[in-house]
Structure 1
Amino acid sequence: MPLGVVGLFQDSQFGSQQGGATMSLWLADSLRQPAPVPPRDWRVRLREWADEVELVPDLAQRIGSPTWFRGLATCFGLCATALYLSPGFKPIPGLPGRTMAEAHYDEVRSQMITPLALGADSGRRMGATDAVQPLRQTPERPQIELNAQVGSSDTLARALSRAGVSSSDVATVMTLVGEDISSGVKPGTRLDMILGRRASRDRPRPLDRLAFRARLDLTLELERAGGVLSVRRIPIRVDNTPLRIQGVVGDSIYRSARAAGAPPKAVQAFLRVIAGQVDLGGIGAGDRYDIVTEYRRAETGDIEVGELLYAGLQRARGKSVDMLKWTSNGRTEWFEASGVGERRGVLSAPVAGRMSSGFGMRRHPILGYSRMHAGIDFAARYGSPIYAVTDGVIAYAGRHGGHGNYVRIQHGGGIATGYAHMSRIAAAPGQRVRRGQVIGYVGSTGLSTGPHLHYELYRGGATVNPLSVKFTTTAQLAGDDLRAFRAQLARYKGLRVGQHQAFAQAPSAAPVASGK
């Protein structure tokens, strides 16, 4: 409010003296010239306008508002400006290179790395001219040295054929060495070969030399002389002394035996035998193990680890184990030191299948009335093998009424088993069979509605429920067999730990055999 107006208001309220003074102040103020207002900078005005207009709005908010459309227009304008001002992608024009003259081209070509690699210093004199004629045939190497290896599930003949040996030479090699490798060549055996010069390009190279290790105790060398292959057999002396390893169990019996030098194969076989006698978890630190295994060592340093022969375990607490592998009556099994063999029980089922019908009264599926089912049925696929549940002698094998193809086995002690409805019989009367031996195949002969096995168990000639009878067989050595067993056990226990004979000198090569 102007100062003079304030003074007039005061004059009307408080008197003329105060109002006069105020009026004089108003007149003095009105006579003064107003100060000029400086113009504002354009940058300030532009900033204020930008704050009000909001040129860069957030397009994710207030969609559809005037501000959003203004921001969208700004975005399109900037994109259009960037595309308009972007540089082009047209190739930059350039002049093509000059075509080289023939002499210059020949000089450059002669200085390549190929002639330099053949011994030239500068390469200028190595360029081909019209006097150079191409070879009709490139020369071949006079012989090729090869190293091959017999693979897994492979044979010597296939390995040689893969290496490029002709079929006629392969047949000759197999004729010469067939008797020496009757059991096959060990996978991984190295074959050292030399293939000679061939008569023409359409014929394979002849085998000039072949050398390989046929067995641990034999090396074979084949060589061509006068166009004929001949073989030379080089024997290698081998020590067959069994390997004995003893030690004290630490944290783990496996790690303790491996640390003592026992081969992995022998330790695994040892644990399988021991597990059948005692609980492996009960073996503790301080128990002593004793392992004897087949061990063949050649004078060349090569070794072969064979089967486990003896397994012993002396325990500080609990049952000790003393087992020896022995062959009696054509069967190889583990026997205790007393001559008692391992116990063998019947199979869980004589065929791989599920039990479809049990023992007892039932309604016959074909005859249509209830009658005694004197066995148990196993549903199985047609042609599945049928096994003998335990050792015995075939008492009957052939057609047997409603049983169809039928086999009956006598097991001794009045116990017998029967197998019916076979498609084919694989045993003959009087034949001795072992536990797990195939005696026939599943079929549907006789009174049968489909492929299955009807299994019966007889005690004293009468059928009984096969599931109610559990029996085992145990071998017992006696007489001369028991004495030989104990002598062998004493020899193994008398072996020194890790002892082998020393080889004094290398063997001489055998004479050259007749060749082909």
Structure 2
Amino acid sequence: MFHDSQFGPQQGGASVSLWLADSLQQAPAASPQDWRTRLREWADEVDLVPDLGQRIGSLTWFRGLATCFGLCATALYLSPAFEAIPGVPGPVLSSGHYDEVRSQMITPLALGADSGRHMGPTDAVQPLRETPERPQIELSAQVGSSDTLPRALSRAGVSSGDVATVMAMVGGDIDAGVKPGTRLDIILGRRASRDRPRPLDKLAFRARLDLDMEVTRAGGVLSVRRIPIRVDNTPLRIQGVVGDSIYRSARAAGAPPKAVQAFLRVIAGQVDLGGIGAGDRYDIVTEYRRAETGDVEVGELLYAGLKRARGKSIDMLKWTKDGRTEWFEASGVGERRGVLSAPVSGRLSSSFGMRRHPILGYTRMHAGIDFAARYGSPIYAVTDGVVSYAGRHGGHGNYVRIEHGGGLATGYAHMSRIAAASGQRVRRGQVIGYVGSTGLSTGPHLHYELYRRGQVVNPLSVKFTTVAQLAGGELAAFRARLAQYQGLRVGLHDNFAQKAATAPAALGK
């Protein structure tokens, strides 16, 4: 810290010392008044509150530190005590004073709105004989995801008798149940007495995409009114070019998620999805029902097409033949059925033939092949068939046998748990059990056998395929349907006589 004085810019401490020495030499016999004047001038020159961030460790810095501690100690010494300030409690009102105060209150305070004290009634107040009820109660309920119409009505307060009457009237129109999320507009009327439920005066809900229903009470009797809604069943067709992802490209074009997932499953059975690259064109046709109110329902996938820049193009159409619905190629060739696939996800650990039994200790015929797999892994039926046996089977442990027709059958042994029942019809790839180590087994694995006319054969030596093939008039009808789908224009179709008031936007081109 520096000070300007008559001696020039010098350090504060040095300037004060020189000033005092000079003053004493010049006036050694000064009067008391002069001394007071000189001390006042000296105090003006001395800085009692220097900057503690400068010249740390000097005498000036220590003088400032002492000043700081002195001021803090003085403040603490002079600070007041932190004690509660005593107050005078309010007087307790007598009953007479209380009635006097109550007579001067305004109504909200008298009812306890602000003070919280409810005042006793005066002689002018008379109790009601009965509380009046609302003549009607209007409710809005919703059917839950795993709910039924009767349960939703009961939760809303509809009596069991009215619920039974409503279901008797509308049950034939909602065989499959009401769609989850359906809104129920309910009006309950005045009840005859307090011990009886309110009667149902009106119920309105959407029974199906093409049907609105209103149940009303007239003359004490419930009646139903069915309001049909026009629905356009024209399938929805969506085409586009594959970008970085076929799923994202189809969704960006407006394809419903359900349709895109079904499309990918069909295409995956024909080509490797990883081989589909940018520039390939997809073609999707799906069931699409649109009501004139704007509500829509997305149905099953009908057609799956893929035009590839490199590689084989795909045209797959869903068709029903002999009561079985499956996918057919454009040539009329259906899915391959009966192809023996791996019954479990695992590695081949033991082959068919003679071997030394790991438990019995002698050489004998191993009438199947073993797959080493993790405990609890699902076991699949290698092809379609009927379960002829499911249960405990000696050294096989938990065992399932499936008859596939044509004298062929398969057996699955050592299961930890069986997921099929005797007499059940199973499809290729259906889970029939889980890997275990029951019976004569040294660890979790699947023992798989193949029978031909009752005799065991090597499962690796037999492969059979049955392919559905359309011909004649059925093939012509199939090709006509294929041409119909391929001729659809892309996007939504407005086939109503009058345009729907709330028609949804097009799903993309």
- TM-score, normalization by structure 2: 0.69
Q: Check 1:248–1:418 CA distance in 2 against 1; reply closer, same or farther (3 A cut).
A: closer
Q: Check 1:35–1:231 CA distance in 2 against 1; reply closer, same or farther (3 A cut).
A: closer
1:464 aligns with 2:458: yes
User: Any idea what the Cα deviations from partners look like across 1:171-195, whole Å, max 9, x if unmatched?
Assistant: 3323332222221211111100001
Report what 1:359 is aligned to. Answer: 351
User: Any idea what the Cα deviations from partners look like across 1:202-231, whole Å, max 9, x if unmatched?
Assistant: 433222211100111111211223333332
Q: Check 1:297–1:34 CA distance in 2 against 1; reply closer, same or farther (3 A cut).
A: closer
Of 35, 38, 41 in structure 1, the residue corresponding to residue 39 of structure 2 is 41
Letter in 2 for 1:318: G
Of 447, 451, 465 in structure 2, the residue corresponding to residue 454 of structure 1 is 447
Q: CA RMSD in A?
A: 4.9
Q: Check 1:368–1:132 CA distance in 2 against 1; reply closer, same or farther (3 A cut).
A: same
Q: Which moved more, 1:479-488 or 1:292-301?
A: 479-488
User: Any idea what the Cα deviations from partners look like across 1:6-36, whole Å, max 9, x if unmatched?
Assistant: xxxxxxxxxxxxxxxxxxxxxxxxxxx9852
Report what 1:484 is aligned to. Answer: 477
Q: CA deviation at 1:398?
A: 7.8
User: Any idea what the Cα deviations from partners look like across 1:29-61, whole Å, max 9, x if unmatched?
Assistant: xxxx9852665627858999999xx9x9xxxx9
1:214 aligns with 2:207: yes
**Using the alignment, how far apart are the partners of 2:436 and 2:466 within structure 1?**
30
Q: Kindly report which structure 2 residues correspond to 1:76-475, keeping only aligned pairs within 5 A, or say none.
A: 82=76, 85-87=79-81, 89-91=83-85, 93=87, 102=99, 105-110=102-107, 129-247=122-240, 257=250, 261-278=254-271, 279=273, 282-285=276-279, 287-343=280-336, 346-350=340-344, 358-359=350-351, 363-374=356-367, 375-376=369-370, 386-392=379-385, 402-403=395-396, 406-409=399-402, 411=404, 416-421=409-414, 426=420, 428=422, 433-437=426-430, 447=440, 453-457=446-450, 461-464=455-458, 466=460, 474-475=467-468
Q: CA deviation at 1:143?
A: 0.7
Larger radius of gyration: 1
Letter in 1 for 2:217: R
Contact 2:292–2:499 (CA under 8 A) maintained in structure 1: no
Q: CA deviation at 1:142?
A: 0.8
Contact 1:147–1:190 (CA under 8 A) maintained in structure 2: yes
Contact 1:292–1:310 (CA under 8 A) maintained in structure 2: yes
Q: CA deviation at 1:440?
A: 6.2
Contact 2:143–2:149 (CA under 8 A) maintained in structure 1: yes
Which runs of no fewer than 5 residues in structure 2 stay unpaired? 1-24, 113-119, 501-509
Which runs of no fewer than 5 residues in structure 1 stay unpaired? 1-32, 62-67, 116-126, 507-516
Contact 1:314–1:320 (CA under 8 A) maintained in structure 2: yes
User: Any idea what the Cα deviations from partners look like across 1:387-435, whole Å, max 9, x if unmatched?
Assistant: 3211245677788664466544455788642223567694557x76421
Letter in 2 for 1:239: D
Q: Check 1:457–1:499 CA distance in 2 against 1; reply closer, same or farther (3 A cut).
A: same
**Using the alignment, how far apart are the partners of 1:421 and 1:280 within structure 2?**
36
Q: CA deviation at 1:150?
A: 1.3
Q: Check 1:356–1:229 CA distance in 2 against 1; reply closer, same or farther (3 A cut).
A: farther
Contact 1:195–1:209 (CA under 8 A) maintained in structure 2: yes
Q: Check 1:389–1:111 CA distance in 2 against 1; reply closer, same or farther (3 A cut).
A: closer
How many pairs are equivalent?
446
Letter in 1 for 2:196: R
Q: Check 1:165–1:435 CA distance in 2 against 1; reply closer, same or farther (3 A cut).
A: same
**Using the alignment, how far apart are the partners of 1:47 and 1:372 within structure 2?**
118
Q: Check 1:471–1:380 CA distance in 2 against 1; reply closer, same or farther (3 A cut).
A: farther
1:501 aligns with 2:495: yes
Contact 1:292–1:492 (CA under 8 A) maintained in structure 2: yes
Q: Residue 173 of structure 2 aligns to a residue in which SS?
A: coil
Q: Check 1:343–1:233 CA distance in 2 against 1; reply closer, same or farther (3 A cut).
A: same
Q: Check 1:415–1:79 CA distance in 2 against 1; reply closer, same or farther (3 A cut).
A: farther
**Using the alignment, how far apart are the partners of 1:437 and 1:187 within structure 2?**
29
Q: CA deviation at 1:82?
A: 1.5
**Using the alignment, how far apart are the partners of 1:251 and 1:448 within structure 2?**
49
**Using the alignment, how far apart are the partners of 1:385 and 1:35 within structure 2?**
115
**Using the alignment, how far apart are the partners of 2:381 and 2:89 within structure 1?**
94
Contact 1:427–1:440 (CA under 8 A) maintained in structure 2: no
Report what 1:25 is aligned to. Answer: none
Q: CA deviation at 1:94?
A: 6.2
User: Any idea what the Cα deviations from partners look like across 1:257-296, whole Å, max 9, x if unmatched?
Assistant: 55655434334433443444444664434x5443221111
Q: Which moved more, 1:317-326 or 1:490-499?
A: 490-499
**Using the alignment, how far apart are the partners of 2:248 and 2:374 within structure 1?**
44
